[in-house]
Amino acid sequence: MPSTLYSVRAFATNGIGTGYGPQISFTTAADDGDGVALAVEDAGPNGGDGNNDGTADSLQSNVSSLPDATGSGYLTLEVGGGCATAQAVAAVAIGSMPTADPFGYLYPYGLLELTLPCETADITVYYHIPGATSQVSSV
């Protein structure tokens, strides 16, 4: 569970008695609120820093990295422009859309579904394509 405090203490018992180690405590990492599991973001490109800004995506509520809908690569969503977070971020396969694209566009990596708690935002999507020699982005 994110942001949960755990306390543990080891012990060993033998024929002489029981010995106890020191009690230690730790808190699990906080969820950044974007709906993408921390471990998924940490497994993303650039050591978990998909937008390559020097901070792990799992620590930023406005950056989400997740596998694309085909499972062939990763997508990184970066939200800015006064909007501090993205929520319920998910990659969606084209086949799951309720209607076909009326313009006939192709979406080789699927689409991103998300909720923004603001009226306007600047959105950048980075496509991490296996075998590509450079990072592709879309604004």
At 98-112, the pLDDT tens digits run 777 788 888 888 889
CA dist., res. 42 & res. 29, Å (int): 12
For residue 42, the enclosing domain spans: 32-138
> Residue 4: is its pLDDT beyond 80?
no
Does residue 82 lie within any of the structural domains? yes
Does residue 117 lie within any of the structural domains? yes
Does residue 80 lie within any of the structural domains? yes
Check residue 130 and give its pLDDT: 81
Does residue 3 lie within any of the structural domains? no
Does residue 8 lie within any of the structural domains? no
Does residue 23 lie within any of the structural domains? no
What is the amino acid identity at position 24?
I
CA dist., res. 49 & res. 57, Å (int): 5
Check residue 32 and give its pLDDT: 84
Question: How much is the average pLDDT of 43-52?
Answer: 95
Cβ neighbourhood burial of 69 (10 Å; 0-12, 13-18, 19+): buried
Does residue 15 lie within any of the structural domains? no
Instruction: Check if the beta carbon of residue 109 is closer than 8 Å to that of residue 73.
Output: yes
Give the total number of structural domains in the chain. 1
Check residue 95 and give its pLDDT: 76
Helix, strand, coil in percent for the chain, rounding step 5: 10, 35, 55
CA dist., res. 98 & res. 25, Å (int): 48
Does residue 115 lie within any of the structural domains? yes
pLDDT band at residue 1, thresholds of 50, 70 and 90?
Answer: low
- Rg for the chain (alpha carbons), in Å? 21
The pLDDT tens digits for 65-93 are 999 998 889 999 999 998 888 999 999 98
CA dist., res. 22 & res. 27, Å (int): 17
Predicted structure pTM score = 0.73
Highest mean pLDDT among 15-24, 86-95, 127-136: 15-24
